[in-house]
Homo-oligomer: A and B are copies of this chain.
Amino acid sequence: MTNPPDTTSNRRPGGRTARIRAQVLDAVRAELAESGHEGLTMEGVATRSGVHRATVYRRWRDVGGLLADVIAAAGETGWQPPDTGSLRGDLTALNQEIQESLVVRPSFAVALMAASFHSEQAARAQTRLWADRYAQCEILVERAVGRGELPARHADARSLLIAATAPLYHQLVLLRTRPDPRLPERAARAAVLAAAAGAFPVPREEGG
């Protein structure tokens, strides 16, 4: 999916190949922003990117391939989870990032979600990206346990992270409520309170 740089035909590894990918994916993002994934076509992307259409067809095959690659590229940006010194602060900062990405117009994040309802390939890439992001965020919970904010037995990271972030997606993407600037902090606080009360126990090892 991520089209590894073609090192056989270029002196600088990935030079030309990486440049073409960047041009094409920039064009995909611009087209998505302008007209959503429904307006996305191979021809439109080729024209906007200035890359030969035969190259676009050969490397990305179809619109699903373009969407999957633009999602994969979003996972290659060196994103780092926040580190504010407290779990509540970290989750609030994370939620602020999420809220911004969903509220900005046009929203690339929302366009990708819409696309993944319609392209199985995009949906798989989206699922993978989210799995990676949640895995990256588990460190927030590990650090909180390390600081003594939360007992280890109450720190099932995945459930806690889902509880903290899900209300943002639900309200902003599905319910389409007006963005509330206090929501990131409130959802973070609710998840931390639930965690402290034992809502996210670590599953016990089976057998033994």
Residues of A within 8 A of B (CB): 36, 38, 110, 113-114, 117-118, 123, 127, 130-131, 134, 159, 162-163, 165-167, 169-171, 173-176, 186-187, 189-191, 193-194, 196-200
Q: Which of A162, A173, A190 has the most CB of B within 10 A?
A: A190
Bound-state CA distance A199–B197 (Å) is 11
Known: A194-B193, A197-B193, A197-B194. A170 touches B159 (CB 8 A): no
Ordered by A's residue number, 8 sampled pairs between the chains whose C-beta atoms are within 8 Å are A134-B175, A159-B186, A162-B167, A162-B170, A163-B187, A166-B169, A186-B199, A193-B193
In contact, B194 and A130 (Cβ under 8 angstroms)? no
Q: Could you say which residues of chain B place their CB within 8 Å of the CB of A199? A: 186, 189-190, 193-194
Known: A162-B167, A174-B113, A175-B130. A198 touches B193 (CB 8 A): yes
In contact, B127 and A38 (Cβ under 8 angstroms)? no
Q: Could you say which residues of chain B place their CB within 8 Å of the CB of A162? A: 167, 170-171, 175
Known: A163-B167, A189-B199, A199-B193. A174 touches B173 (CB 8 A): yes
| Closest 9 pairs (CB-CB, A-B) | A190-B199, A166-B170, A194-B194, A166-B166, A114-B117, A193-B197, A193-B199, A190-B194, A166-B167
